[in-house]
């Protein structure tokens, strides 16, 4: 578990990060670093970022989370973002920001299911 304010837990081969605080830019930047260090430390196959507590996701946070997913992918880890609130989804699309290249799921349960599928079936791309 890394030193920042966002807890990162290991559930089997998956890392679960739950964001429950209003994000300062430096916190989300530190979170990105913490996640990548944890992936290396634990050899996690999957990463789930739970944003169900986030009421506001602006373009900086969205971009940083999406980039975190891409960085994790380079390290061989699949990322799923779970719990995006309706208002957050609506706002991001209206702004024109699509989080491409990252899996999403409605709930933690579905996220874990999706991780199982993604990490046991080889990627054919």
Partner 1 sequence: MAAASETKYTVTSTWEIRIDKEADIVEVRQRVRELAKEHRFDQFAVAALTTAASELSRNVWVHAKKGTARIDVLQSGRKVGIGLEFADHGPGIADLTLALAGGYSTAKSLGLGLSGTRRLVDEFEIETEVGRGTKIVIRKWKKDY
Q: How many residues does the chain have?
A: 125
- Pick the binder of partner 1 from 3, 74, 96, 120 (CB under 8 A): 96
Using rule CB under 8 A, residue 24 touches partner 1: yes
Using rule CB under 8 A, residue 10 touches partner 1: no
CB of 25 to partner 1, least distance (A): 6
CB of 14 to partner 1, least distance (A): 29
Residue 78 backbone phi and psi in degrees, to 5: -90, 135
Using rule CB under 8 A, residue 9 touches partner 1: no
Contact 32, 26 (CB under 8 A): no
Task: For residue 17, give the nearest of 74, 86, 58, 64 by alpha carbon.
Answer: 64
């Amino acid at each position: 578990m890394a030193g920042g304010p966002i807890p990162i837990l290991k559930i089997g081969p998956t890392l679960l990060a739950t964001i429950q605080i209003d994000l300062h830019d430096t916190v989300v930047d530190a979170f990105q670093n913490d996640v990548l260090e944890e992936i290396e430390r634990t050899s996690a196959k999957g990463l789930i970022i739970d944003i169900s507590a986030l009421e506001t996701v602006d373009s900086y946070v969205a971009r940083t989370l999406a980039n975190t997913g891409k960085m994790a992918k380079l390290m061989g880890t699949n990322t799923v973002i779970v719990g995006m609130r309706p208002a957050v989804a609506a706002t991001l699309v209206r702004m024109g920001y699509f989080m491409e290249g990252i899996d999403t799921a409605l709930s933690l349960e579905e996220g874990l299911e999706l991780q199982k599928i993604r990490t046991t079936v080889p990627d054919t791309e």
